[in-house]
C-alpha cells in the first residue's frame, strides 16, 4: 500500500471519531459536515483494506482491526504535529542552537547582553558563546567549529565572509598613577621609551604593522607578551607597564581602574566584523541572530563611546 495515499486529514478524522464516539460529534471537532467525515472515513477504510468501526444508529465502536490500527494512527499524528511545530519554530527563528565565537573581552562584554536581548524576542533559542583567539576567528568559522564570529578584522581567504560593524582605535591603557596619565595624546616617541605589555600575536598585527613604515625611532616593541588580555590589564593596573588595546574594551579596563589615552598619529583603527562561512548557509536561527547582532552591536558601540 503506497504510504502517500494515507493523509493527515483521514487520520485526524479517524482519531476524532474514536475520541467522540459518533460521526456527528467528530464532525464538530474537525469542523466538517457529518457527510464529509463519513466520506473521509470511507476513504481511509479503503486505503487500509479493512473496516475500522462497527456503526449503529447511536454510536460507532472500533472493530478489532480498528483497535489494532489505533496506536499506529496515534503515533503518526503525534509525529506529524511535532513536525508542524518544528517547522513553525524554524520559520519563526524560535529554536535551534547557535555557536558564536569572539575574543575574550568581546565574549565577556558584548555577547552576554546581546544574547539576553535576543532571548527576550526568541526565548526558545539556545546561543552558546565561545572564547576564540583573534587569530583563530576566521579558521573557526571556516571549519564549522562556530556559526558566527565577532571580532577584529582578519584576512578572510575564500571560505569566510565578513560584515563590518564599527571601527575602534587602539589606545593606551594605563594606571592613573603612571607617567603617561598626564598626556591627553601620547606621542609615539614617548611610548617607545615606555614598558609595554602586549597580548598575543594580535599586537603584531595591529601596532607593529601600523608603525612598520615609520622611522626606527618611532617604532614600539613590547617588553612582555602575555596570552590573556586580563593579565595585561593586571600588569598595567599595578603600574608595571602600559598596554595597547582597542577602545571597545573600556568597560573591562575601567573595572581594573585603568584610564584611556589616545596615541599620536598614525593611529591603528581596527574594524570589528561579524564573520560567517561562505560555503554553508546559516540556519534560520543563526541567520536571525546574525541580523540582530548587526544592529545591536552598532547601538552598543555608539552608546559606549558617546
pLDDT of residue 94: 53
Q: How far apart are CA 105 and CA 228, in angstroms?
A: 10
Q: How many CA atoms does the CB half-sphere of 184 hold within 13 Å?
A: 0
pLDDT digits (tens, 9 = 90+) for 189-198: 888 888 888 8
pLDDT digits (tens, 9 = 90+) for 123-176: 888 899 999 988 889 999 998 889 999 998 888 889 999 999 999 998 999 999
Residue 175: closest CA among 223, 226, 237: 237
pTM (whole model) above 0.75: no
What is the enclosing helix (H) or strand (E) of 213? none
Here the cell at position 232 is: 595585561
Q: Which domains can be identified in the chain, with CATH numbers? A: 8-88 (1.10.10.10), 96-165+272-305 (3.40.190.10), 167-270 (3.40.190.10)
What is the enclosing helix (H) or strand (E) of 13? helix 8-20
Amino acid at each position: 500500500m503506497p504510504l502517500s495515499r494515507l493523509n493527515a486529514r483521514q487520520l485526524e478524522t479517524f482519531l476524532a471519531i474514536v475520541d467522540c464516539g459518533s460521526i456527528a460529534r467528530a464532525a464538530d471537532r474537525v469542523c466538517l459536515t457529518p457527510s464529509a467525515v463519513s466520506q473521509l472515513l470511507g476513504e481511509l477504510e479503503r486505503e487500509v483494506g479493512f473496516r475500522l468501526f462497527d456503526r449503529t444508529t447511536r454510536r460507532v465502536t472500533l472493530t478489532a482491526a480498528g483497535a489494532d490500527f489505533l496506536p499506529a494512527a496515534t503515533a503518526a499524528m503525534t509525529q506529524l504535529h511535532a513536525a508542524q511545530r518544528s517547522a513553525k519554530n524554524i520559520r519563526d527563528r524560535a529554536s535551534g542552537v547557535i555557536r558564536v565565537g569572539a575574543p575574550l573581552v568581546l565574549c565577556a562584554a558584548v555577547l552576554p547582553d546581546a544574547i539576553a536581548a535576543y532571548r527576550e524576542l526568541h526565548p526558545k533559542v539556545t546561543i552558546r558563546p565561545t572564547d576564540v583567539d583573534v587569530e583563530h576567528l576566521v579558521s573557526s568559522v571556516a571549519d564549522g567549529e562556530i556559526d558566527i564570529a565577532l571580532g577584529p578584522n582578519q584576512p578572510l581567504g575564500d571560505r569566510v565572509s565578513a560584515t563590518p560593524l564599527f571601527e575602534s582605535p587602539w589606545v593606551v591603557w594605563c594606571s592613573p598613577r603612571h607617567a603617561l596619565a598626564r598626556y591627553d595624546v601620547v606621542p609615539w616617541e614617548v611610548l617607545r621609551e615606555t614598558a609595554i605589555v602586549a597580548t598575543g600575536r594580535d599586537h603584531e598585527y595591529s601596532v607593529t604593522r601600523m608603525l612598520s613604515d615609520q622611522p626606527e625611532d618611532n617604532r614600539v616593541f613590547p617588553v612582555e607578551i602575555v596570552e590573556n588580555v586580563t593579565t595585561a590589564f593586571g600588569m598595567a593596573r599595578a603600574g608595571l607597564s602600559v598596554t595597547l588595546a582597542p577602545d571597545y574594551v573600556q568597560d573591562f579596563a575601567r573595572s581594573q581602574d585603568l584610564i584611556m589615552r589616545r596615541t599620536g598619529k598614525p593611529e591603528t583603527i581596527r574594524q570589528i566584523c561579524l564573520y560567517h562561512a561562505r560555503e554553508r548557509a546559516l540556519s534560520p536561527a543563526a541567520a536571525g541572530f546574525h541580523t540582530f547582532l548587526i544592529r545591536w552591536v552598532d547601538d552598543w558601540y555608539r552608546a559606549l563611546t558617546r
